Amino acid sequence: MRKAAALAAVAAVAAAAAIAVRQRLREARRWARVAAVLSDLQERCVAPAARLLQVSDAMDVEMRAGLASEDGSKLKMLVTYVDSLPSGDEKGLFYALDLGGTNFRVLRVQLGGKEQRVIKQESVGVSIPQHLMSRSSHELFDFIAAALAKFVASEGEDYHLPEGTQRELGFTFSFPVKQTSISSGTLIKWTKGFAIEEMVGKDIVAELNEAIKRQGLVMKVSTLVNDTVGTLAAGRYVDNDTMVAVILGTGTNAAYIEHGDAIPKWHAPLPKSGDMVSSLVFTSAPMNATLEG
């Protein structure tokens, strides 16, 4: 009886061991398949140095062609008017409006120069009602200006505006724009769900300034930039060696510092700095690029 029980126990142990071995073999085969898939993916994704150099050279050619003429390249480079970036010496009270999609953000910051840098800052985000994205430009910009006026009205006594000056606004507008000056630009097209056709071809800064006036707010837009230029400026403020900014989001673009004399289609006098911020906006094929400021 005991012998039979012992044999049964041995058989059970052997069966359990066999099951465990089979499970381990299945796991091993499964992990082998996973490893094969990962190895194949890695092989497919590898970009040899020679191929990367080809891509780099092709981009360089297209960028230079785009800077030379309006229609000479797959990269449509729009001339920027930003010829200098923050140094960290800036002092005073500054406002900013960032409109890049279905939400926008308003911000105020008190800068204290090299010693104090950012003394104080506040911001608020606002969602744009969907119906305003396809109605009229007046309605959209009146809504934005009203939110801006409310935000300015909340300004505390610890923010100091130099006597005799009015509030100035930096405007980040992350849509395709052809700039005509540092503080003006015409809308090329809407993206990100906006469809106010009457605004296409018009000066977006003029539209915002008029809406600000209708709110009775003493403020004007002093600078128009896109998101990459704003990112580059923010990077330069904290690190003077910053030369490039990249945005990876709904759209993908980059900004860099270019020598003014490398932009043949720039027919105005070169800026004192000799430089110009260039911003490339990449979209799906065919690839486009935009030089905005």
Q: Domain of 181: which CATH number? A: 3.30.420.40
Residue 43 resides in a domain: no
Question: Reading across the β-sheet that carries 275-282, which strands appear in turn?
Answer: 244-248, 252-259, 275-282
Q: Tell me, what's the pLDDT at 25? A: 67
Residue 36 resides in a domain: no
Active site residue 227: yes
Read off the pTM.
0.75
Pairing of strands 219-225, 103-112: unpaired
Separation of alpha carbons 293 and 290, rounded Å? 10
Residue 77 resides in a domain: no
Alpha-carbon distance values, 39 to 25, 43, 46, 51, 260 (Å): 21, 6, 11, 20, 46
Domain span at residue 262 reads 91-282
Q: What confidence tens digit (pLDDT) does each residue in 105-162 have?
A: 999 999 888 888 888 999 999 999 999 999 899 999 999 999 999 999 998 888 878 7
Q: Considering 108, 142, 167, 174, which one is annotated as catalytic?
A: 174
The secondary structure of residue 203, as a DSSP letter, is B
Q: Tell me, what's the pLDDT at 292? A: 35
Is 94 in contact with 230 (CB distance < 8 Å)? no
Is 106 in contact with 126 (CB distance < 8 Å)? yes
Residue 120 resides in a domain: yes
Q: Considering 64, 83, 105, 214, which one is annotated as catalytic?
A: 105
Type of residue numbered 139: E
pLDDT of 16 > 70? The answer is no
Type of residue numbered 272: K
Q: Considering 98, 203, 227, 275, which one is annotated as catalytic?
A: 227
Residue 116 resides in a domain: yes
Residue 278 resides in a domain: yes
Residue 291 resides in a domain: no
Active site residue 84: no
Alpha-carbon distance values, 13 to 3, 6, 21, 25 (Å): 15, 11, 12, 18
Active site residue 174: yes
Separation of alpha carbons 97 and 230, rounded Å? 11
Q: What confidence tens digit (pLDDT) does each residue in 46-61 have?
A: 888 888 899 889 988 9
Residue 9 resides in a domain: no
How many domains does the chain fold into? Answer: 1
Q: What confidence tens digit (pLDDT) does each residue in 193-212 have?
A: 899 999 999 999 999 999 99
